[in-house]
Amino acid sequence: MNTDRPAAEEERLKALRRERFNNTEGERRYQQLVAQRAQRRQQLMSQSNVHKGTLSEAAKIVGTCTLMCPEFEREERQLKNNIAQPEMFPGTRQADPARTVKTFHRSAAGNEEPLPEDLRTPETLQRTLDHLVNVVIAADQELRSCHGFVRDRTRSIRQDFTIQNIRDSTTVAVCERIARFHIVSLHILCGNKDFAEHQDMEQLRNTLKTLIELYDDHRKARVVCANEAEFYAYYIVSHLRDPDAKRVAERLPRHIFTAPIVQQALKLHMLSESSTAPRRDTGTGWAAQNLGVQFFRTVAAPATPLLLACLAEYYFPSIRRSALRSMCDAFPYQEGKEYPVTDFAEMLAFDSVDEVQEFCAQFNVGLRGSGVKLGERVKGRIVFQDPAQKPRRTSPNLRVVGAKFHMPPMH
């Protein structure tokens, strides 16, 4: 027997033995919980005099779980080796009940309906979000390793509120924090190969839609929501070039509609619409209608808060595309009189000449020396051509959005 084994190795082996023992105990406990759940489900159905059908038909479900993750789910995920790194005891693959957080569950045929003990109370949901922000995100502020985990778990938090139909001030506060998480993610993780920005935008829009409904409910009950104007502004900018966003704004109470942040959002919405499509029927063509340059100036203005700018950044590629097309139509190309690339970068908020070159190349527009060959034509037709795939952002914008991280707040 080797008595000279290092202490660290001894601890590792002890941890592995604990895991094997715990897995055996965990399987027994899981089977107990499966049997208990079947009895509990039947009991609830009987109490409500529903012998066929579903629990949702029996009665409104009120969550009773005070853990961040219900015990049944934790044991089930442990057996399936489906515990995420932020949920484990350090140095093991064992779930830590104090760190494990309930996952999002997709609705599908054959899936069990949740029991009351599967659904967390409002206080527990708020505490769960506190844990995600103050522990998980605090340990990875660049969101590179924790983003997918937090996105799934915040989605699960919203799901628990929805299933229980909880629409109080706690729901509002939690959804507001989740929306801010998605907006910041859109900026910080821009260009990250593992970041699917369209998925975050989808979850943000869903969260904002919920908030709009909650604000309407609270307003009817004469309850004031202090951040209502802020999140209506996010709703408007998350739906740039969508006419429905304007219709939502038109129905707002005057004090919300006239709030500076909402007016700034509406200005960005108007500028994005003006930079979208040609008005050939007016004879002015693309150039006269394109206000893309003004869009970027508005984003850069002190009146546009940081998170509103982070959200507007999502649309930079499409706004730049329209501006480039506009300028190619407006400026007939003359060799030796190319448009200065530094001026072009400043107008459309590019961070570098390399970024300008990479972007223009996607549309078959080249650079010559230190200038952009705007309006270049072959046999009378401009060489501008849309790529097969829409251009995407490749890195967080520093010129106008990143600069706001160091600006003093507006008063």
pLDDT beyond 80 at 7: no
**Closest alpha carbon to 348 in 327, 377, 373:** 327
pLDDT, averaged across the chain: 88
DSSP 129: H
- The confidence score (pLDDT) of residue 22 equals 59
pLDDT at 165: 96
Is 70 exceeded by the pLDDT of residue 357? yes
Q: Which two tokens stand for residue 62?
A: 């009120």
H or E stretch including 232? Answer: helix 228-237
Residue 178 has pLDDT above 90, yes or no: yes
Residue 325 predicted with pLDDT over 50: yes
Which residue would you say has higher pLDDT here, 408 or 137? 137
Is the entire prediction scored with pTM above 0.85? yes
Q: What is the pLDDT of residues 53-83, one digit of tens each?
A: 555 555 578 999 999 999 999 999 999 999 9
Share of the chain above pLDDT 70, in %: 86
At a CB cut-off of 8 Å and minimum separation 6, what does 46 contact? none
Please tell me the predicted confidence (pLDDT) of residue 243: 87
Is the pLDDT confidence value at 350 over 90? Answer: yes
Neighbouring C-beta atoms of residue 290, cutoff 10 Å = 25
pLDDT of 286 over the 80 cut: no
Q: pLDDT digit string (tens) for 377-402?
A: 988 888 999 999 989 899 999 999 99
**406 pLDDT tier (thresholds 50, 70, 90):** confident
When pLDDT is averaged across residues 169-190 and rounded to a whole number, the result is 97
d(CA 144, CA 189): 7
Distances (CA, A) of 8 to 5, 298, 342: 8, 58, 57
Q: Are 299 and 319 in contact (CB under 8 A)?
A: no
* Choice between 201 and 12, residue whose per-residue pLDDT is larger: 201
Count of beta carbons in the 10 Å neighbourhood of residue 185: 22
**Residue 3 scores a pLDDT above 70:** no
Given a cut of 50, is residue 210 above it in pLDDT?
yes
Q: What is the mean pLDDT of residues 279-308?
A: 74
Q: Determine which of 139-148, 266-275, 390-399 has the lowest per-residue pLDDT on average.
A: 266-275
Residues whose CB is less than 8 angstroms from the CB of residue 60 and which lie 6 or more positions away in sequence, other chains included: 164, 165
Contacts of 189 (CB under 8 A, 6+ apart): 143, 144, 147, 195, 197, 200
Query: Is it the case that residue 289 has pLDDT exceeding 60?
Result: no
3-state secondary structure of 19: helix
Structure confidence by residue, pLDDT tens digits, 223-250: 999 999 999 999 999 999 898 898 999 9
Report which of 233, 246, 208, 390 is spatially closest to residue 310, judged by C-alpha positions.
Answer: 233
* pLDDT for 134 beyond 70: yes
| pLDDT greater at residue 325 or residue 208 | 208
405: Cα separation from own chain's centroid: 19
pLDDT (0 to 100) of residue 288: 37
Structure tokens at 110: 């054959």
For 351-389, give the secondary structure using H, E and C: CCHHHHHHHHHCCCCCEECCEECCCCEECCEECCCCCCC
